[in-house]
Amino acid sequence: MGQVFVTRRVPGRAVELLQGAGHDVAVWPDDLPPPANALRESLLQADAALTMVTDPIGQDLLIEAERLCVVANMAVGYDNIDIVAASQAGVWATNTPGVLHETTADLAFALLLAAARNVVLSDRDTRDGGWQMWSPTAFLGPDPFGATIGIVGLGEIGQAVARRAHGFGMTVLAATRTSRPGIEQELGVEKVSLNDLLQRADFVSLHVPYSPVTEHLIGSQELAVMKETAILVNTARGGVVDQDALVEALRAGTIGGAALDVTVPEPLPLTHPLYGFPNVIITPHIGSASFATRAHMAEMAARNIVAVLGGAEPLNPVNQPPVPRNRA
Ligand code: DGY
């Protein structure tokens, strides 16, 4: 049957699923991604690839790897794949929708709460011996309960964040370019312009995919509109925020803080000025990192591969190649 290259060790039964369908599976053994040349060498031999957001799958690779029929990304985002080139080359690209939104929304809320209530900062201080005595003035922060949250992007993850926000008695605003009739009402969300949202929200949480349209969606102008106390939460993609502008806003104190699960680049070098702000939390792109969710994601990617190598269409395509390649 087919040759499948899995670019990292993955949790769950994904490899068993692929082997059970009769495929030969090679798993990159390291915890770091395969370097460009190793990725290329492996893909030249592969009929299918199970990839991560950290694997750049560009045009040259898609053309050169002429056996490759499907790139199954273990992620809902797929900005690491050149989708136009994949379609032109006849390669299916797939993602993992519907399985990670609750887990990612949990992290967005964890970051929101942690930033507001100084969870990370006070933990660090405690470990450094800073806990002298209960203090009426130490580590004060804004109340999430009853505050206004602005959700930018009302897809699966944005909707899951909105549901959580109601549990915290929040007023929920959403800015979305996609029209989903009835959804705002169903979720108890007020649909507003991005500008309006930024002016009114105490917490701004980003949930748009990364694309040329959303690149630097939050830049200096947008940051300038936010409240001085507002906290920006980004669990989407680093490129949605203009990081230089964010650093400037934090320096000038025109926003209250930021909690970032995604940055540009990833990992963010330790010399980056963002690490210098006590009101910034940075986590290493762990939005979907629960045991169950990561296993689901890997298994879903594997099922997409099994479908394509079995001669069917994938279950979760993000492109539609006019002439799909067939396994040689
Ligand atoms: C995704 O699914 O796009 C995440 O960023 C990876 O968990």
Does 125 share its domain with 55? Answer: no
Query: pLDDT at position 107, please?
Result: 99
CB of 76 closer than 6 angstroms to any ligand 1 atom? yes
Distance (Å, whole) CA 316 – CA 30: 27
According to DSSP, the β-strands at 24-27 and 148-152 are: unpaired
Provide φ and ψ at 41, rounded to 5°. -55, -45
- Whether 177 maps to a domain, the answer reads yes
Q: Which two tokens stand for residue 200?
A: 């009114």
Ligand 1 close to Cβ of residue 100 (< 6 A): yes
pLDDT digits over 162-183, tens only? 999 999 999 999 999 988 889 9
Instruction: Output the six-digit token pair for 69.
Output: 């029929």
**Could you tell me the sign of the dihedral formed by the alpha carbons of 59, 63, 64, 65, in that order?**
positive
Is residue 168 in a domain?
Answer: yes
Q: Is residue 323 part of a domain?
A: no
Query: Is position 317 within any domain?
Result: no
* Domain-embedded: residue 327: no
With beta carbons less than 8 A apart as the criterion, state whether 281 and 259 touch: yes
Whether 266 is a known active-site residue: answer yes
- At residue 137, the pLDDT reads 98
Whether 271 and 302 share a structural domain: no
At position 104, the amino acid (one-letter code) is T
Number of domains in the chain: 2
Rounded to 10°, the helix 119-127/101-116 angle is 60
**Looking at the structure, do residues 273 and 148 belong to the same domain, yes or no?**
yes
- Tell me how far the alpha carbon of residue 133 lies from the centroid of ligand 1, in angstroms: 41
**pLDDT score recorded for residue 178:** 87
Any ligand 1 atom below 6 A from CB of 155: no
Report the Cα 192 to chain-centroid distance in Å: 23
Residues 91 and 106 in one domain: no
* Cis bond upstream, residue 267 (ω within 30): yes
Q: Which of 265, 282, 299 is the last residue of a domain?
A: 282
Please pick, among 207, 237, 294, 296, the residue that the annotation labels catalytic.
237
Single out the catalytic residue among 200, 285, 294, 303: 285
Task: Enumerate the H helices of 146-237 as residue ranges.
Answer: 156-167, 183-187, 194-200, 220-225
Query: 74: Cβ below 6 Å to ligand 1?
Result: no
Residues 299, 225 share a domain: no
Distances (CA, A) of 231 to 119, 169, 206, 227, 255: 14, 17, 11, 9, 7
- Which listed residue (16, 186, 266, 313) is catalytic? 266
Atom of ligand 1 nearest to the CA of 95: 2
Q: Which domain holds residue 169?
A: 101-282
Q: Which residue has the CA at smallest separation from atom 1 of ligand 1?
A: 75
Residue 106 resides in a domain: yes
Rounded CA-CA distance 267/166 in Å is 33
- How many contiguous H segments (helices) and E segments (strands) does the chain have? 12, 12
Distance CA 92, CA 307 (A): 11
Cβ contact 91:325 at 8 Å: yes
Decide if 164 is catalytic. no
Q: Which of 55, 100, 208, 291 to mutate to test the pocket of ligand 1 (most atoms within 8 A of CB)?
A: 100
pTM of the model: 0.96
Closest protein CA for atom 7 of ligand 1: 288
Nearest ligand 1 atom, CA 237: 5
Q: 167 and 126 in one domain?
A: yes
Q: What is the DSSP letter of 241?
A: B
Say yes or no: CB of residue 324 within 6 Å of ligand 1: no
Determine whether the shortest distance from the Cβ of 198 to ligand 1 is under 6 A. no
Ligand 1 atom closest to the Cα of residue 74 is 2
- Render pLDDT for 278-322 as a digit per residue (tens, 0 to 9): 999 999 999 999 999 999 999 999 999 999 999 999 999 999 999
> 249 by DSSP, 3-state: which?
helix
Looking at the structure, do residues 157 and 301 belong to the same domain, yes or no? no
What is the CATH classification number for the domain harbouring 207? 3.40.50.720
How many alpha carbons lie under 13 Å from residue 270 in its C-beta half-sphere? 0
The residue contributing the CA closest to ligand 1 atom 3 is 77
Output the pLDDT for position 328: 63
Among this protein's residues, is 166 annotated catalytic?
A: no
Is residue 135 in some structural domain? Answer: yes
Same domain, 218 and 243: yes
Q: Split the chain (328 residues) into runs of 10 and give each run's mean pLDDT.
A: 97 98 97 96 98 98 98 98 98 98 98 98 98 97 98 98 98 92 93 98 98 98 98 98 98 98 98 98 98 98 98 98 88
Are residues 108 and 68 both part of a single domain? no
Q: Is residue 326 part of a domain?
A: no
Both 163 and 61 in a single domain? no
Residue where the block lists tokens 């959303």: 214
Q: Can you tell me whether residue 297 is helix, strand or coil?
A: helix
**How far is residue 72's CA from residue 81's CA, in Å, rounded to a whole number?**
10
Examine the domain organization and report whether 93 and 45 are in the same domain.
yes
Residues 49, 91, single domain; the answer is yes
